[in-house]
Structure 1
Amino acid sequence: MARGWSPRSLRLLPLPLRAMAARPGPAAGEPRGRCAALVEPALVLGTLALGLQAPLCTQYLWERLGARLGYNGSEAGGAAGCGNASGAGDPRRQEVEASVSHWNLYINLGGFFVGLFSVTLLGPWSDRVGRRPALILPAVGMALQAAVYLLVMYLRLHVGYFLLGRILCGLLGDYNLILASSFAYVADVSDLQTRTFRVAVLEACLGVAGMLASIIGGQWRRAQGYIDPFWLVFAASLAAALYAALCLQDSVREKQPARLFTLRHYAAVYRLYAAPGHQGSRQKLALYSLVFFLVVTVHFGARELFVLYELSSPLCWSSALIGYGSAVAYLTYLSSLAGLRVLQLCLKDAWVAVLGLLSNISGLLVISLASTTPLMFTGYGALFLSMAATPVIRAKLSKLVDEKDQGALFASVACLEGLCSLVATGVFNSLYPASLPFMRGFPFLFGAVVLLVPAAVIGWLEIADSSPDYGHFTNAA
């Protein structure tokens, strides 16, 4: 109950004012100067740091490992003779591609194994102590990772030290914890009617930050090398931590002191799926979690291979073209937001998600066959609605649990997202070098086939919800 309003007084107010008056005030002890419900800047800064770092790291590995293996390529992966037939079959270039792919696998495996456990610890902890600590810690971890990478570049250390930076970041929650805390924050401050679009707005922020990072990173790396752009990664990570610490008002109203290192936080995630409850809701929670796993795994796996795919023959893109390609790929967040908003006027959220998956499938099919730059950009264009599925799935998961369990839910989603990255790294980075002899774009074709499964599951759940013969699905998301 809002302070100063009695139940009778609230009933006399018009409905919009009644909702505003019933909204709880700031939590006790919370500084009043903080901005309310604006978690987006922290997410944008974290995504900017990640968007700059990921392609630059892959290109740096290409250059360092290529030099060690005696492969003479032009800038950032454009190999000598890359555009001709003999270059396409150069065994040394294929050895560099396989080596870069494997090092990406090792680095990400180390980080995600650690992050998988830290996210599920820190996420439920934020339900009690607030969201801000769960935003500050991973941002500091990303800054530490950037500092280690800078040391590797300045001192020309072995690229294996990248793994050390990745593990340090994973210990503090990694970027996945920033995502989980941001979505939990939005769930705290939104209602059921607006949550899907509010989640989509948050994901659109990912696209804006990623697009800026791609354009800046490609041009900056071409002009000044790797070191200067990585200083921006370090600065953006620190800025995200400072914003969460100094400017953001917490969305958890009733904060309580809680120990960090306790198994109760893991138990909170476990109870979401195993505790007794409505059977239909638990089934749907499991099915939508499976759908989320498949969609995000394909998304992570395909995006991780885009840079390596573009560096290789027959595309042989420069770092500037790679930056433009990544920017176009990130534009799908904005086009998906616009498409979601328009399609919600005439379709249910579930069917919008199915259309988004069909867009994703068509784009991956084109990219798998891309042998020229125009065809590659055509594939990116076909992905225009591909990011409409994930906000719908996140919102449906959020609506399946009580409001007080949002932190535990998004901790489990963060855990699942970490597992998605782990599986995507293992499957796609292993599949790419194995498929080089017969079809360079086979991993994208594989991803398109996998996405048929979540499209079918979402469609079936929506039909089951609308049919009176499926009464056990009454708690529709």
Structure 2
Amino acid sequence: MDFRGKENEPLLKAEQIQQQQRSKWISTRVKVMIYAMINTIALLIAGSAQTQYIYAYVKHHDAANNSTTNSNNSVSKNVSESCGVNSTSDDKIQAISADWSWYITLAEYGIAIPFIIFIGPMVDRIGRKPVLLWNLSFMTLSFAVKTLTIYLKLNLYYFLVGFAIEGLSGTFSTFSIASCALLADTTSKGKDRTIVMVIYDALIGLGAFISFIGTGYLIEFTGFIYPFAISCGIFFFFTILVAITLDDSLVHHETTSRIQVSVFLGQIFSLYTKVENISRGVSYILIYLLIFFIYNMPSSGSITTIFTLSSPFCWSSEHIGWFSAGSSIVVFVGGTVILKILQICFKNITDELVVILSLLSSVASYILFGLSTNDWMIYESAAVGILKILPIPLIKAILSRAVHPDKQGALFSNIYLLDTVCTIFGSTLFNNIYHHTVKLHKGFVFFVMAGFPFIALVMMIFVTCKTNSAKDPIELDIDNPQIQNSDTPS
């Protein structure tokens, strides 16, 4: 009996280890999703106040000669009370506010680019947790500077310093790179990873919903300083929480090898620099170009806020908060529910087909928003765009399934590097278009925005046809990025 017990012991141990590993994976997944929601709340409590503060600052200083008070609260109320009084002056204020939104994007994301280039490979070398702590520490410092700028009523140029520090953190992209790598570590390839990525984005939407509603009332009743101060406090305690509770999922650490800049750059840009790979891996190159077009969508946020603050809408901070919250629930949670229904009702539906439907939703939403002349048309545009956020998590899942597990960090660096570059590009393009067309037609810029997902739609149809014609499953290695048949012996 003793002999048989010892004989079965290794098998039992293996099963126990496997069970412990599975439990650890689930635990890590849950933690990462909770982290994502907290991070979104911290970012957007202040983030949703950012454009409103700039608009209020510009408007307040434009009417400085007639102002009798300098309180933050009075600035907020002046924005809604004087809306539509002087159409020419209001157009000028919108144009200047759009310019400042552009400057902030350049200061934040321009500095972030080199950090994002190196963050991905570092995530695969030193682990996910150190990168998260780096990001959260600098985010705390960034929001402290922004809070101080508003409290002391300093010039907007000092506001830019806070965003430059945020750029040193790698922005939200660095947090996402590490988080997505953690999720990839703890999921299997296939629909499991797809739905986890979508749920991750849905919880980001839930965090956005919470922050948008709260921020609207905070601004209306207390002014602009409290949203930024609260964000700073959340990031401070969030950093401590991650340091204490997160166990890094990366088992293989390459800390003994020498860190070379050329190797890092090779990992990031290998998909684009190997000519012999482009023809064979055309589907993946096109998917990256597709992301380029999709990721111009976040650039519309500040313009949408300026658009609704001005005549004929004249929305208050509360109104903007509720609309932003409702839009977040519609696109993040509503889109996730529809995706799940599609997967249940149509067993053979592919991620690529869902992306095509989502892009159609995005095009229609932007066109309707650009035509809006009353509140109800804006609400309808948000409802029509219920699927527009789905392409982002779906494409991340498609790419993640094609990349070696040890190179997930490098993969997501590729994605979020493009995100950053496209945010700069989109902000430059759209804010300048809005500046120069605001007197002609305020909604014109949204027609231009609709063109990007339309081009992406055409490209995605081509990608789908190309992918379906492939006979063998493929796996993509970031370091050696030729497309390989997964059933070929190594």
8 Å CA contact retained: 2:212, 2:321: yes
8 Å CA contact retained: 2:370, 2:445: yes
**Partner residue, 2:359:** 357
Q: CA deviation at 1:18?
A: 11
Task: Tell me, yes or no, if structure 1 residue 39 matches structure 2 residue 8.
Answer: no
Cα offsets for 1:262-317 (capped at 9, x unmatched): 443233212344358866663222111110110111x1122231111110111110
Q: Distance in 2 between matches of 1:5 and 1:77?
A: 78
2:151 counterpart (151, 154, 161): 154
8 Å CA contact retained: 1:273, 1:282: no
Match for 1:440: what amino acid?
K
Match for 2:370: what amino acid?
S
1:244–1:282 distance in 2 versus 1, CA, 3 Å? farther
What secondary structure, in the 3-state scheme, does the structure 2 residue paired with 1:160 have? helix
8 Å CA contact retained: 2:108, 2:167: yes
Q: Distance in 1 between matches of 2:96 and 2:458?
A: 37
8 Å CA contact retained: 2:95, 2:438: no
Q: Distance in 1 between matches of 2:44 and 2:7?
A: 47
Q: CA deviation at 1:444?
A: 1.2
1:376–1:271 distance in 2 versus 1, CA, 3 Å? same
**Partner residue, 2:379:** 377
2:123 counterpart (108, 122, 126): 126
Q: Distance in 1 between matches of 2:16 and 2:341?
A: 29
What secondary structure, in the 3-state scheme, does the structure 1 residue paired with 2:373 have? coil
Q: CA deviation at 1:323?
A: 0.1
Q: Distance in 1 between matches of 2:7 and 2:77?
A: 67
Q: Distance in 2 between matches of 1:19 and 1:446?
A: 54
8 Å CA contact retained: 2:362, 2:388: yes
8 Å CA contact retained: 1:35, 1:248: no
Q: Distance in 1 between matches of 2:76 and 2:405?
A: 55
**Partner residue, 1:31:** none
Match for 2:343: what amino acid?
Q
Match for 2:242: what amino acid?
A
Match for 2:34: what amino acid?
P
Q: Distance in 2 between matches of 1:242 and 1:43?
A: 15
Q: Distance in 2 between matches of 1:182 and 1:117?
A: 19
Structure 1 residue runs without a partner (length 5+): 28-33
**Partner residue, 2:95:** 98
2:419 counterpart (417, 425, 446): 417
**Partner residue, 1:267:** 266
Match for 2:249: what amino acid?
S
Cα offsets for 1:375-430 (capped at 9, x unmatched): 21111111111111111111111122212111111111111111121111111111
**Partner residue, 1:188:** 185
Structure 2 residue runs without a partner (length 5+): 1-5, 67-74, 477-490
Q: CA deviation at 1:327?
A: 0.4
**Partner residue, 1:176:** 173
8 Å CA contact retained: 2:76, 2:219: no
1:76–1:251 distance in 2 versus 1, CA, 3 Å? farther
Cα offsets for 1:131-185 (capped at 9, x unmatched): 0111111112221111111111111111111111111111121111111111111
Q: CA deviation at 1:205?
A: 1.4
What secondary structure, in the 3-state scheme, does the structure 1 residue paired with 2:474 have? coil
Task: Tell me, yes or no, if structure 1 residue 293 matches structure 2 residue 292.
Answer: yes
1:263–1:48 distance in 2 versus 1, CA, 3 Å? farther
**Partner residue, 2:208:** 210
- TM alignment of 1:326-345, pairs within 5 A: 326-331=324-329, 332-345=331-344
Q: Distance in 1 between matches of 2:275 and 2:133?
A: 34
Q: Distance in 1 between matches of 2:273 and 2:11?
A: 42
Cα offsets for 1:2-43 (capped at 9, x unmatched): xx999x959xx9xxx79945958989xxxxxx9533212222
Q: TM-score normalized by structure 1?
A: 0.88
8 Å CA contact retained: 1:218, 1:322: yes
Match for 1:51: what amino acid?
L
Q: Distance in 2 between matches of 1:389 and 1:5?
A: 51
Q: TM-score normalized by structure 2?
A: 0.86
Q: In percent, how many aligned pairs have the same letter?
A: 23
2:442 counterpart (440, 443, 448): 440
**Partner residue, 1:61:** 54
8 Å CA contact retained: 1:280, 1:475: no
Match for 1:270: what amino acid?
F
Q: Distance in 2 between matches of 1:312 and 1:169?
A: 29
Q: Distance in 2 between matches of 1:340 and 1:103?
A: 37
Q: CA deviation at 1:235?
A: 1.6
Q: CA deviation at 1:78?
A: 2.1
Q: Distance in 1 between matches of 2:78 and 2:427?
A: 22
- TM alignment of 1:308-323, pairs within 5 A: 308-323=306-321
8 Å CA contact retained: 2:83, 2:310: no
Q: Distance in 1 between matches of 2:441 and 2:27?
A: 51
**Partner residue, 2:281:** 282
1:151–1:18 distance in 2 versus 1, CA, 3 Å? closer
Structure whose residues are more often helix by fraction: 2
Q: Distance in 2 between matches of 1:240 and 1:171?
A: 18
Q: Distance in 1 between matches of 2:36 and 2:20?
A: 29
1:45–1:290 distance in 2 versus 1, CA, 3 Å? same
8 Å CA contact retained: 1:65, 1:96: yes
Match for 2:202: what amino acid?
A
**Partner residue, 1:393:** 395
Match for 1:330: what amino acid?
S
Q: CA deviation at 1:256?
A: 3.3
Q: Distance in 1 between matches of 2:208 and 2:251?
A: 32
8 Å CA contact retained: 2:184, 2:408: yes
Q: How many residues align?
A: 455
Q: Distance in 2 between matches of 1:93 and 1:460?
A: 44
Q: Distance in 2 between matches of 1:281 and 1:182?
A: 30
Cα offsets for 1:170-223 (capped at 9, x unmatched): 112111111111111111111112111111011111101111110000011111
